[in-house]
Amino acid sequence: MSLFSSPSSKFFWITLIVFSLSYYLLIAKSTTLQTTSSTPPPKPCNKNPYQQLNLVLNKNGTVTRGSKPPESPPTPDPNLPTKVLSKDLTINKSKGTWARIYLPRKTLDQNSKLPLLVFFHGGGFIFLSAASTMFHEFCFNMANDVVAVVASIEYRLAPEHRLPAAYEDAVESLHWIRTNQQEDDWLRYYADLDNVFLMGSSAGGNIAYNAGLRVAAAGGGYDLGIPKIQGLILIQPFFSGTRITGSEMRLADEPHLSICNNYAMWDLSLPVGADRDHEYCNPTVGDGPKKIEMIGRLGWRVLVTGCNGDPLVDHQIELARVMEMKGVKVVGHFSAGDYHGVQDKDPFKAKQLFKVVRGFISTLPSSRY
């Protein structure tokens, strides 16, 4: 029986219609902004990307990052009063990759399996961790509100490990999940590996997308020893390009993601010598649209979220538009106001997002909700 009542399903589709209207309004607004001459030019950037991001380049090629953001440990003990259990499992010891698995406590008393959300954290490919408190709390609350098993993946960071290292780690994590299903009780008894979504926020959204393309290029992965993917959930995905967009110009000095920090993170994450029209950064140029067709042929559904307070919103809208043109079943959820990463800092916004994610998952034909 569905965990969603009929009113909830109606709510999702009503909000979807509202968001679709906002989506087209944002397109119109962004197009207008690209031609306005009243927007002041952005402040000049530091030409040294390491200095721009307050990184110290060491002689051995590693970097020293600034003060480390707070981190939270997992809570695997079922005797503790917590709504969601969590534990860390090693994926590849030599690479330092691992997964933090989140399991809603209420699931322990149920026989049915839950959707599996494979989540990749943000941080511009350079910063933060699956253990960072902001992402730990996000995944904890998402597992509880969406009612899903969440596997938050720790991947290698740039510039020590430039792209495509993170994409390789993402695909390896999918193989690991399938291989370890029988060895880990949480994955074995509670995760539905036929109902899997690749999900990420900011740079994590970029990773989910590019990992999805790699799986799609191999035929969808059903015979590749990885779980069966039903779709992608891209939360304010981190994309850019060599052409400055209206939203990037309008929000060039936005404190949560300035254009200078944006460009510096790409400088240190892309393969050496690549510009921002590289396929990892700009999925709508070159062969990008043809690759998007692979997602459509597999029947995956895609949720793309954003807001017009995010400098990247024009890129996100363009990606959703191209996906729609290429036959992908895409849902665009774009809201007014807010800022890049708002769901990581505002619990109320995160809760609103979880309602959209749960509604998106519940509408899929394969859903067991």
Residue positions annotated with a catalytic role = 202, 310, 340
Peptide bond into 159 cis (omega under 30): yes
> Which residues neighbour 342 within 8 Å (Cβ) at sequence distance 6 or greater?
307, 309, 349
The span from the CA of 302 to the CA of 233, in Å, is: 6
Q: What's the Cα-to-Cα distance from 217 to each of 58, 273, 291, 294, rounded to whole Å?
A: 37, 25, 8, 7
The span from the CA of 31 to the CA of 34, in Å, is: 5
Strand partners, 186: none
DSSP secondary structure letters along 171-192: HHHHHHHHHHTTT-HHHHHHEE
Q: Write down the H helix ranges in the chain.
A: 6-35, 49-52, 133-142, 165-180, 185-190, 203-217, 246-250, 259-269, 288-298, 313-325, 342-345, 347-362
Q: What's the Cα-to-Cα distance from 57 to each of 65, 164, 165, rounded to whole Å?
A: 9, 21, 19
Specify the amino acid at residue 10: K
The span from the CA of 74 to the CA of 223, in Å, is: 33
The span from the CA of 238 to the CA of 341, in Å, is: 11
148: Cα within 13 Å, side-chain hemisphere: 31
The span from the CA of 159 to the CA of 235, in Å, is: 23
CB-based contact 101:151 (threshold 8 Å): yes
